[in-house]
Chains A and B, each alone.
Chain A
Amino acid sequence: MKKGYFGDFGGQFVPELLMPPLLELETVLNEVVRTDDFRARLAGELRDYVGRPSALTRCPTLSERTGVDIWLKREDLNHSGSHKINNTIGQGLLTKMIGKKVLMAETGAGQHGVATATAAARFGLSCVVFMGALDVERQSHNVHRMKLLGAEVVAVESGTRTLKDAINAALRYWIAEQRSAHYCFGTAAGPHPFPELVHEFQAVISREARAQFLERAGRLPHAVVACVGGGSNAIGMFHEFLPDRGVRLIGVEAGGSGEPGCFNSAPLNLGAPGVLHGMHTQLLQTKEGQILPSHSIAPGLDYPGVGPEHSALQASGRAEYGLVNDAQALAAFQALTLSEGILPALESCHALAWVLENAAALKGQSVIVCLSGRGDKDLDIVEQNLG
């Protein structure tokens, strides 16, 4: 296979000016990140700072009601509230170890921005976060959190003023500041080696979940389910189960309002292959190759592309990708909150909603849902929609 590719997907479609830092990062991945020293330090941070291992929680009420044995991998219990911290602590640590001073990032919902600002504070790095101007308005709490953590938040006014434009702005900034800044990419997407790097840091989710489930249930689950925005929590949830052919891997995309032709965030279900943000992958685009705006009630899923490894897993048939709309995600939010006392992030609700929607077919089976984050950040959206 071509270097940096997963099947037909992946690659490095960036201006030549970004090739030197990407090649440097590839060296860092192989010569720093994959060493015992780095792994030991990271393990220490994950244990003592992030609070890992995160719990594996069985849902007795929901399980009884649906007839499906439902378990949650609790990334919502991580410091700063989501799986994003696994990746930013990893990239923050590598930034520190290679001697760069600035941790820069893009963010949509603000979760990755908060996690990056947190890691920057932890490692004594300065932090710049690019965020679409529309998202700055929609996610003011997270903007405030980032600023309190010492980050500079740059509101991006170009294009659709959302995550995809924040990524464009971040790539532009990185071209100029590559000598001092590390681009802490927020998901398992972008040009090689980011999909591999983020995968490396998120694999801890399934490493823990697989061992925890084996210990508690004495066997493997029938399926693992995770929401897919860029695809990082899903890749993390899938990784350790990839060789377990009997375990279904299910990613869940956001269908938006669900009407035919509505804006959605489901490039694997409703897109076509193309090139954006340095990668060849499934994209929401016009026939002419212009990128379409995306939408989801869950701000963290609102992205017209997806990490290339998911495109490859879909093409090979190893993973399946479902579609859940805004209303179904909200129903899952209510179900989990009322029946188990856990307020999930709206992103994660898509994964849970898929299980609830498909309960009849899953009867008698065990599934682990990746609860990628907590819902505190979404309370305004929930209130607007549920009253």
Chain B
Amino acid sequence: MNSLLTEKITAAKAAGRLGLIPFLPGGYPDKAGFWDVLAALDAGGADIIEIGMPFSDPVADGPVVEAASLQALEQGVNLAWILSGLAANRARLSAGIVLMGYYNPVLQYGLERFAEDAAKAGVNGLILADLPFEEAGEIRALLAARNIDLIPLVGLNTSRERMKLYAGNARGFVYFVSVLGTTGERTSLPDEVRQGLALARECFDIPLALGFGIKSPEQLKELSGLIDAAVFGSSLIRHLDAGGDAAGFMARWAK
């Protein structure tokens, strides 16, 4: 079966631009306005939208995403709210939809029930930040049966051997983590990123997205050709916190 996520990024590439993947925690900045913000990101040119599933202990996240997730949790955002809201709003969004979070809330929801409800809600992919290859077999099979891609996360310290391990059954796109660190903007990307991306390009035959620490379109110019898409979370959250709107944020990237 074809992957909608692969298609979205491939289409952006064919149009001569980077695939754009904004990230926002579910229910952020508030539950009432969340789906409208997503619709604005979508209208503003997002190819894929990542919705964060808030967790109390987000080990892979930096302070901006963590604070936003905790704020969502305090408003009572949970997986059921995200999945039912998405089901109701999916028709408004043409972007591919990826859920991103941590394993425990999904495990407690029930793996099979989660896969079923995610498929019904129109989810196209899942990223679980604390689920490396070795632990992912069960959920990958449940998702694959419903044409939902489990997105591999690799990074600067991922060996060729482990990249191949992931590449064996990877679908959708590869998420390359730009830093040895957590989410959060950086002013410059480490030199090793180029080598890491080149290795990933060699090992995977699906599109390559770069995420964690991406601040501006200018920053990515030097990586042109090395990546197919960019993920931005902290910089979007900061933009919204500062009173900016989703359309304005996307305009910077979509030109």
Binding site for B on A (CB under 8 A): 3, 11-17, 19-20, 158-159, 164-165, 168, 171-172, 175-176, 178, 274-278, 283, 285, 287-291
Contacts and interface: CB of A to CB of B under 8 A. Distances in A.
A231 B205 CA distance: 45
A287 B108 contact: yes
18 contacts: A13-B131, A13-B135, A15-B59, A15-B130, A19-B134, A159-B56, A172-B62, A176-B179, A176-B182, A275-B104, A276-B104, A277-B57, A285-B108, A288-B105, A289-B106, A290-B55, A290-B56, A291-B56
A175 B105 contact: no
Contacts of B70: 159
Given A20-B159, A178-B157, A288-B105, 9 more contacts: A15-B59, A15-B130, A16-B132, A16-B155, A20-B158, A168-B58, A178-B180, A288-B78, A290-B55
Given A12-B132, A15-B59, A291-B57, A176 B180 contact: yes
A288 B59 contact: no
Interface in B177-194: 177, 179-182
A175 B70 CA distance: 22
B162 A19 contact: yes
Contact of B157 (A20, A168, A172, A289): A20
Contacts of B145: none
B177 A17 contact: yes
A289 B104 contact: yes
A208 B182 CA distance: 43
Contacts of B130: 13-15, 275, 278
Nearest to B55: A290
Interface centre among B107, B132, B158 (most CB of A within 10 A): B132
Interface of B: prevailing SS: loop
Contacts of B156: 17
Nearest to A273: B107
Given A290-B55, A290-B73, A17 B107 contact: no
Nearest to A4: B134
B78 A159 contact: no
B60 A288 contact: no
Interface in B54-84: 55-60, 62-63, 66, 70, 73, 78-79
B242 to A, nearest CB: 22
Nearest to B58: A168
Nearest to B66: A158
Contacts of B133: 16
Contacts of A13: 103, 130-132, 135
B135 A172 contact: no
Contact of B59 (A19, A168, A283): A168
A14 B158 contact: no
A157 B134 CA distance: 32
Given A158-B63, A274-B107, A288-B105, A164 B57 contact: yes
B105 A289 contact: yes
Interface centre among A165, A172, A178 (most CB of B within 10 A): A172
Interface of B: 55-60, 62-63, 66, 70, 73, 78-79, 102-109, 129-135, 152-159, 162, 177, 179-182
A164 B59 CA distance: 11
A37 B62 CA distance: 41
Contacts of B152: 16
Contacts of A285: 104, 108
Nearest to A283: B104
A6 B177 CA distance: 31
Given A158-B66, A171-B59, A275 B107 contact: yes
A275 B157 contact: no
Given A275-B130, A290-B55, A175 B181 contact: yes
Contact of A15 (B56, B57, B107, B153): B153
Contacts of A11: 134-135
Contact of A14 (B59, B79, B108, B179): B59
Given A158-B66, A285-B108, A290-B105, A15 B55 contact: no
The 3 closest A-B pairs by CB, nearest first: A289-B108, A289-B105, A289-B104
A172 B154 contact: no
Nearest to B128: A13
A95 to B, nearest CB: 19
A375 to B, nearest CB: 31
Nearest to B101: A289
A344 to B, nearest CB: 31
Given A175-B181, A278-B130, A289 B109 contact: yes
Contact of A274 (B59, B108, B153, B162): B108
Contacts of A290: 55-56, 73, 105
Contacts of A19: 132, 134, 158, 162
A222 to B, nearest CB: 38
Contacts of B153: 15-17
Nearest to A176: B181
Contacts of A159: 56-57, 70
A172 B180 contact: no
A176 B180 CA distance: 5
